Amino acid sequence: MIILRDYTNQREEIVPLLPFMFGIIAPNMRAIAPTGNSVERDYIIWKKAMEKDLENPQKHWVMVFAGQEMRLLGYALYRIAMPVLHMDEIQVVKTHQGDGIVFPALMGKILHDAEHFGTCTLRSYANKRNEKAFGILRTMGLQILDETETGYRYEGYLDHALAWFRWKYHNNQEQ
């Protein structure tokens, strides 16, 4: 059993979850964008950034948990600044990447909110080493908007992403 929980209006409940969130992103960071820092130093820097993000009223915080022990399996952070929804982070614990459950739950919530709030454009960023993200963003209909030193900014239309999502996950297609 999985539970999708939106913490956007319960930000005080996020702080105790930060170590668990970092436990998901840290292995991904080491593989895709190693900093050269110790894990402890990366956590301090990351936590400081997350605490700043907690002050942003446009930021949405959504998490997926499993079982009665409520083990964190993934999370998504995104901002809505009309008419754009910025997908800042979608992180899934390695053991559930590609399981057809956690990512669709998070992406479904993001796209639902984009539709609900009337956004028409989606934006995201992917590190140059994150080929999995490139593939997902391209299949969602997002295209490279510009390049930074470390990655690419993507942009696309909500309608294309919704069509992809409905086709992929409502037709029981394998991930």
Element (H, E) at 25: helix 18-32
What is the structure's pLDDT at 172? 52
Nearest-angstrom CA–CA distance, 22 and 105: 20
pTM: 0.91
Does the structure show a pLDDT above 70 at 34?
Answer: yes
Model confidence at 173, pLDDT cuts 50, 70, 90, reads very low
Contact 77, 96 (CB under 8 A): no
Measured in degrees and rounded to the nearest 5, phi and psi for residue 146 equal -160, 175
pLDDT of residue 70: 92
Query: pLDDT tens digits for 137-172?
Result: 999 999 999 999 999 999 999 999 999 999 999 875
CA distance 142 to 140: 6
| Coil, strand or helix at 27 | helix
Domains and CATH numbers, the chain: 2-170 (3.40.630.30)
Q: What is the pLDDT of residues 89-114, one digit of tens each?
A: 999 999 999 999 999 999 999 999 99
- CA distances from residue 150 to 35, 59, 126 in whole angstroms, order as listed: 12, 23, 9
Q: In this prediction, what percent of the chain has a pLDDT beyond 90? A: 85
